């Protein structure tokens, strides 16, 4: 009798333990983040200057930036608050993995922030869910001049002729190279640029030369084998061939230009398995380049800041080579949005869009992490010119091929494209097979 009681007790205890363990599991990535509000900035300014008659506006701003991005954004907010005594922006940093879920639910029950961040590719979904408000009226009132933005970046944030977001950057997929290794292989010219013929064969020749001339432990081309980066490379090459997204213009059906998609996939699969210039399943592709054991690397511009802070890494940055017919690459943008609020406050909205426009105007700070500012006028500022590398790839802003405004952009990418492209990179599927299965899966995601 006593024993069975003991078992019962352990049973109950264990059960509660498993339940709680499970609870932790599903929230795992929320764990360390939480939110930290920074109101240190608000105190800088009180007292002297606020007596202009206009009422002081306090704005809540939700961001998803961490690391260098997080620091740069905070610095910009502090500077803005200093310059604008009547507007105080308070930054709430949210965990990146939880950001969109929290934003959508908070706006849904009327507790959203005054200002938020959205990726351009995520914007259609947020508009569709009623999270993002239109900007045209308030932008006119605050005197935002849309023509000062890079039109390629801006166009991706306009839906049905209406402005919904103020883009502050674009962060495209570019190429980095290790100057020391390229020099060793005789592929660096006097200006410190790679000697590289911009064509399909030219790029392969470049990589195979690196492979032959450099020690065996050096990886010619450091690239992830799964998910984002090889997908971005595929997107870039597919777009260079003239491919136009994987959904139709009316966004209702999967539409892949099969020949071009297969050709691009074949080219990349060959880099992996025929020319063997990419280390297979390399889990440390970032570190590989960072520690100087990889000659080139492709990823998003956000890596620039990381490489810069790495000692003894002599690197250069450039657009993805024009392997096929036209220049193009993958890219996305960070944009500032004004979430829909329970009670619309015109003063707050005007202040918010003033802030958004100011962020875009002062892109030289934001560019420290590597991003390309959304306003070309920033490129002319001395502070921007003083930053090395950035000017070598700002031209990319006009050749980024953004995805079409489908509400399911992220689902299509995460659930359909990664899945089959990964198999092609692993050499388990032919490009033709992979692309046709991918098209079917994209269609499935769209019709769900």
Partner 1 sequence: MKMNKLRADVQALLFLFPFLLVYFLFTIWPMIKGVEMSFYKWTLIKKMDYVGTGNYERMFQDNEFWASIWHSTIFVLITTPLMLVLAIVLALIANRNSRLQRFYRSVFFVPSILSVAVASFLGLFVFQPYTGLVNSLLHWIKLLPEGAEIFWLSETHLAWIAISLLTLWWTVGFNFILYLSAMQDIPDEVYEAARLDGASDSQVFWRITLPLLSPITKTITMLQIIASFKVFMQIYVMTGGGPLDQTRPVIQLIWQTGFRKNDLGYASAMSYMLFVILLVLSGLQYWINNRKEAN
Residues forming contacts to partner 1 in the complex (CB under 8 A) are 3-4, 6-7, 10-11, 14-15, 17-18, 21-22, 24-26, 28-29, 31, 101, 104-105, 107-109, 125, 129-130, 225-227, 279-284, 410-411, 414-415, 419-420, 422-423, 426, 428, 448
DSSP 8-state secondary structure symbol assigned to residue 417: I
Dist. CA 394–CA 396, nearest whole Å = 5
Within 10 Å of residue 76's Cβ, how many Cβ atoms? 21
Write down the least CB distance from residue 318 to partner 1, Å: 28
DSSP 8-state secondary structure symbol assigned to residue 64: -
**Which of residues 143 and 283 has its CB atom nearest to partner 1 in the complex?**
283
Dist. CA 122–CA 105, nearest whole Å = 15
**Which of residues 3 and 343 has its CB atom nearest to partner 1 in the complex?**
3
Residue 207 has φ and ψ, to the nearest 5°, of: -70, -40
**Which of residues 6 and 388 has its CB atom nearest to partner 1 in the complex?**
6
Write down the least CB distance from residue 445 to partner 1, Å: 8
**Which of residues 29 and 309 has its CB atom nearest to partner 1 in the complex?**
29
**Which of residues 273 and 428 has its CB atom nearest to partner 1 in the complex?**
428
Write down the least CB distance from residue 14 to partner 1, Å: 6
**Which of residues 73 and 297 has its CB atom nearest to partner 1 in the complex?**
297
Do the bridges between strand 116-119 and strand 87-93 make them parallel or antiparallel, or are there none, so unpaired? Answer: unpaired
Residues 6 or more apart from 6 whose CB is under 8 A from it?
A: none
**Which of residues 136 and 282 has its CB atom nearest to partner 1 in the complex?**
282
Write down the least CB distance from residue 276 to partner 1, Å: 12
Dist. CA 429–CA 421, nearest whole Å = 9
Burial per residue of 36-63, b for 16 or more beta-carbon CB atoms within 10 angstroms, e otherwise = eeeeebeeebeeeeeeeeeeebebbbbb
Write down the least CB distance from residue 360 to partner 1, Å: 29
Nearest Cα to Cα of residue 117 among 329, 327, 399, 335: 335
Write down the least CB distance from residue 208 to partner 1, Å: 19
Write down the least CB distance from residue 262 to partner 1, Å: 19
Where residue 276 falls (left for φ over 0; alpha for ψ -120 to 50; beta otherwise) is left
**Which of residues 162 and 427 has its CB atom nearest to partner 1 in the complex?**
427
Write down the least CB distance from residue 218 to partner 1, Å: 14
Helix boundaries (H) for 156-278: 179-184, 200-213, 228-240, 258-273
- Give how far Cα 392 sits from Cα of 159, 160, 175, 389, Å: 31, 34, 11, 5
DSSP 8-state secondary structure symbol assigned to residue 27: T
**Which of residues 69 and 125 has its CB atom nearest to partner 1 in the complex?**
125
Write down the least CB distance from residue 268 to partner 1, Å: 17
What is the DSSP annotation of 125-166? HHHHTT-B---HHHHHHHT--GGGS-HHHHHTTEETTEE--E
């Amino acid at each position: 009798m006593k024993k069975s009681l003991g078992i019962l007790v352990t049973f109950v205890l264990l059960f509660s333990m498993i339940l709680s363990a499970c609870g932790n599991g599903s929230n795992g990535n929320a764990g360390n983040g939480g939110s930290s509000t920074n109101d240190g900035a608000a105190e800088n300014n009180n007292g002297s200057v606020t007596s202009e008659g206009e009422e002081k506006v306090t704005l809540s701003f939700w961001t998803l930036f961490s690391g260098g991005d997080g620091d740069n954004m905070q610095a910009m907010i502090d500077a803005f608050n200093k310059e604008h005594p009547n507007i105080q922006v308070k930054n709430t940093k949210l965990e990146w993995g939880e950001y969109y879920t929290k934003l959508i639910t908070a706006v849904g029950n009327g507790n959203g922030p005054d200002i938020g961040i959205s990726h351009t590719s995520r914007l259609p979904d947020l508009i569709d869910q009623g999270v993002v408000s239109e900007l045209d009226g308030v932008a006119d009132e605050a005197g935002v001049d849309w023509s000062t933005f890079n039109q390629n970046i801006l166009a991706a944030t306009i839906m049905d002729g209406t402005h919904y977001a103020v883009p502050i950057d674009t962060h495209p997929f570019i190429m980095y190279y290790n100057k020391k290794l390229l020099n060793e292989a005789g592929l660096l010219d006097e200006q410190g640029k790679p000697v590289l013929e911009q064509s399909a064969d030219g790029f392969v020749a470049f990589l195979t030369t690196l492979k032959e001339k450099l020690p065996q432990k050096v990886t010619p081309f450091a690239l992830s084998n799964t998910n984002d980066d090889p997908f971005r490379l595929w997107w870039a090459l597919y777009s260079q061939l003239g491919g136009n997204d994987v959904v139709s213009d009316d966004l209702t059906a999967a539409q892949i230009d099969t020949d071009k998609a297969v050709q691009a996939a074949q080219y990349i699969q060959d880099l992996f398995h025929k020319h063997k210039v990419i280390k297979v399943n390399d889990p440390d592709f970032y570190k590989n380049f960072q520690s100087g054991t990889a000659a080139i690397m492709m990823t998003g511009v956000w890596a620039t800041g990381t490489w810069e802070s790495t000692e003894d890494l002599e690197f250069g940055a450039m657009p993805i080579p024009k392997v096929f017919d036209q220049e193009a690459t993958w890219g996305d943008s960070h944009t500032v949005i004004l979430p829909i609020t329970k009670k619309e406050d015109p003063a707050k909205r005007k202040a918010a869009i003033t802030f958004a426009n100011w962020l875009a105007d002062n892109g030289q700070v934001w560019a420290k992490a590597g991003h390309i500012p959304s306003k070309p006028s920033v490129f002319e500022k001395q502070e921007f010119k003083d930053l090395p590398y950035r000017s070598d790839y700002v031209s990319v802003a006009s050749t980024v091929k953004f995805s079409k405004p489908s509400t399911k952009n992220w689902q299509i990418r995460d659930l359909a494209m990664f899945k089959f492209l990964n198999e092609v990179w692993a050499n388990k599927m032919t490009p033709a097979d992979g692309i046709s299965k991918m098209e079917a899966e994209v269609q499935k995601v769209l019709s769900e």
